Amino acid sequence: MISRIKYLINSGEAGINWMAIGPLIFFFVLLIAIFVVTAMRSKAMDAYDANLPLEDGEIEESNY
């Protein structure tokens, strides 16, 4: 089994493109971390965020 994996890793013209796999692994680790932090939020924090005001008083006009 391990010899087959080594063969697949080393096969092809350049083998595995580690410059592409590195950011892919980083992305999935970051995505899983975001899911874990979101799942572990307390209900009190969610209730607090739900009751935050969207605006503070008057709306100011901008030149944008």
Q: Domain-by-domain residue ranges, the chain?
A: 17-51
7-28 burial code (b ≥16 CB/10 A, e <16): eeeeeeeeeeeeeeeeeeeeee
Can you tell me the distance from the alpha carbon of 28 to that of 51, in angstroms, rounded to the nearest whole number? 32
The reported pLDDT for the residue numbered 20 is 79
pLDDT tens for 22-50 read 889 999 999 999 999 989 988 888 888 88
Rounded to the nearest integer, the mean pLDDT of the chain is 80
Is the pTM higher than 0.85?
Answer: no
pLDDT tens for 47-63 read 888 888 776 666 666 66
